Amino acid sequence: MDDAFPPQRLQWAVAEASRCLMCEDPPCQQGCLAGVDIKKFIRALKSRNLRGAVSAIRDSNFLVATCGRVCPQGELCEKRCSATGLARPIAIGELQRFVGELAIKDGIKTVFPEPRSQGEVAVVGAGPAGLAVAYYLRREGVVVDLYERHALLGGVPGRVLPVFRLPRAVLEAELAFVAESGIPVRREEVKDFGELAGRYKAVFLGCGLGVSRGLDVPGAALAGVHQADGLLELANGESPAPRWTGPTVVLGGGNTAIDASAVALRLGSSKVTIAYRRGEAEMPAWLEHRQFALEEGVELKFLRVPVGVLAAGGRVAGVRLQRSEPGAPDASGRAQAIPIEGAFEEIPCEQVILALGNDLDGGWRALGIDAGPKGPRVDPETMQTSRPGVYAGGDLVSGGATVVQAVVDGRRAARAILQRLALQ
Ligand SMILES: Cc1cc2nc3c(=O)[nH]c(=O)nc-3n(C[C@H](O)[C@H](O)[C@H](O)COP(=O)(O)OP(=O)(O)OC[C@H]3O[C@@H](n4cnc5c(N)ncnc54)[C@H](O)[C@@H]3O)c2cc1C
């Protein structure tokens, strides 16, 4: 599938960097969850010092090109950019992507010190959170044992994020440090978390989210009903993707629903509709991501609760939706969808994609650690759970957030683990 981001040239990047107002106390940096020294990297780029630019970003976020592509900059750094009031904000995300991809092309790699500790720390999950722990500890000479149940490294960005938003080659290049710096990857699913916690001085849980939520309505098991993450993974894979022809309806309102709709179009769907149970203001998908879907020609329908999948010849023939109206806020603070009696609508389609979120896997509960609102409860500064020496971060703790948030969690945990190792 084609790369959705056209390549940029150095001339453009230097000109864009030169528009930066070099604020005394840059608001963009406060908007960056990773706290990247944006002013420093832009200043380095302006003077064509690529090495300086990339290391300024890597100090806070090792996934330079990846986050340049997938971070919701419009909701974070660029939203706070002072240039916004004057003209358009500086294209910080695109500049970061440019720096990251040029660094890959020019082979500008992190130089790691000789290992000084090995086999003392276990990291479960090679997603952004676990990899951040591995990277920032390796920079200090600590080599972790990395446990990953999948063949591919990278977690969701490595398998599920559409390759037209994040080409595999970009992520693979940013993860090459694992093999190159001698971090052992144990390709196994950790089942006995207690045994692991007893064997290592520190354990980090970066297991992400678990099982995709199903739909409990008649017809939900029909042929032609797909889970979004499985479909996205399939579409990214080596084997030929399915070819679709007729219309597709995507059920859900998050970023996964948007990605699934874009993939459905690329698989050949004649029309794609996203039906979301709540109102537009409640939709969790980022605004810029929603805009992307609209530009692709996807139709968005709000306040539609799925009540059935229609069948013809044993396959999907449509979805039945019930219109709803916004009610009182629920525990998440968002207005509930209250179905309107007798107000039904049927949309004919050949495929239905379920993008209804994921539930957490519960293996970590066997550790007896305290639970927070989503996953394990952690100290937000150290990411340590209620059991000393056991840390957690990323989607497992947040219930589903961003790549950059997972990196921040991993970096914080790495700092705390270093202190723990020093004290022992
Ligand atoms: C479709 C989709 C699109 C998204 N788009 C964006 C985006 O554009 N921008 C953005 O910032 N975020 C996006 N996100 C969210 C982002 O991908 C996640 O927030 C991020 O990947 C979380 O990282 P993590 O390391 O916590 O978990 P994950 O990425 O889920 O990684 C967890 C890893 O742990 C492994 N694992 C789990 N349990 C075990 C075990 N017991 N033993 C061994 N290994 C185990 C898993 O196999 C996996 O590799 C998107 C998510 C989805 C689903």
pLDDT tens digits in sequence order for the chain, 424 residues long:
666 666 778 999 999 999 999 999 999 999 999 999 999 999 999 999 999 999 999 999 999 999 999 999 988 999 999 766 777 899 999 999 999 999 999 999 999 999 999 999 999 999 999 999 999 999 999 999 999 999 999 999 999 999 999 999 999 999 999 999 999 999 999 999 999 999 999 999 999 998 889 999 999 999 999 999 999 999 998 777 788 999 999 999 999 999 999 999 999 999 999 999 999 999 999 998 999 999 999 999 999 999 999 999 999 999 999 999 999 998 888 899 999 999 999 999 999 999 999 888 778 889 999 999 889 999 999 999 999 999 999 999 999 999 999 999 999 999 999 999 997 6
Domain locations in the chain as residue ranges: 10-106, 117-210+359-423, 225-354
**pTM score, whole prediction:** 0.95
Q: What is the largest CA-CA distance in the chain?
A: 69
Closest CA to 383 of 92, 9, 130: 130
Protein fold of 117-210+359-423: FAD/NAD(P)-binding domain (3.50.50)
CATH fold match for the domains 117-210+359-423 and 225-354? yes
> Which residues, listed in sequence order, are joined to residue 348 by a DSSP beta bridge?
318
The H helix count followed by the E strand count for the chain is 17, 13
Instruction: Show the tokens assigned to 127.
Output: 């997603």
Q: Which residue has the tokens 């409990």?
A: 216
pLDDT of the residue at 413: 98
Residues with CB under 6 A from ligand 1: 70-71, 124-130, 147-150, 155-157, 160-161, 189-190, 206-209, 229, 232, 255-256, 259, 363, 394-396, 401-404, 406
Q: Residue holding tokens 């000393």? A: 388
Q: Report CA(386)–ligand 1 centroid distance (Å).
A: 23
18 by Cβ neighbours in 10 Å (0-12 / 13-18 / 19+) ranks as exposed
Q: What is the per-residue pLDDT for 286?
A: 93
| Token pair 């059920």 in the structure block, residue | 251
Helical H runs in 75-117? Answer: 77-80, 92-106
Whether the Cβ atoms of residue 123 and residue 145 lie closer than 8 Å to each other? yes
Q: Which atom of ligand 1 is nearest to the CA of 396?
A: 26
Q: Which atom of ligand 1 is the closest one to the Cα of 289?
A: 8
DSSP 373: S
CA distance 292 to 290: 5
Strand-pair partners of 145: 122
**Residue 328 backbone dihedrals phi, psi, to 5 degrees:** -65, 155
Instruction: Answer whether CATH 3.50.50.60 is correct for domain 225-354.
Output: yes
Top mutation candidate among 96, 207, 256, 353 for ligand 1, by most atoms within 8 Å of CB: 207
State the Cα torsion 68-70-76-81 to the nearest 10°.
40
CA pair distance 148, 186, nearest whole angstrom: 6
| pLDDT at 210 (0 to 100) | 83
Q: Which residues, including other chains, have CB under 8 Å from residue 255's CB and lie 6 or more apart? A: 284, 285, 286, 289
Burial of residue 262 (CB within 10 Å: 0-12, 13-18, 19+) is buried
Q: Pick one of 3.40.50.620, 1.20.140.10, 1.10.1060.10, 2.60.40.1480 as the CATH number of 10-106.
A: 1.10.1060.10
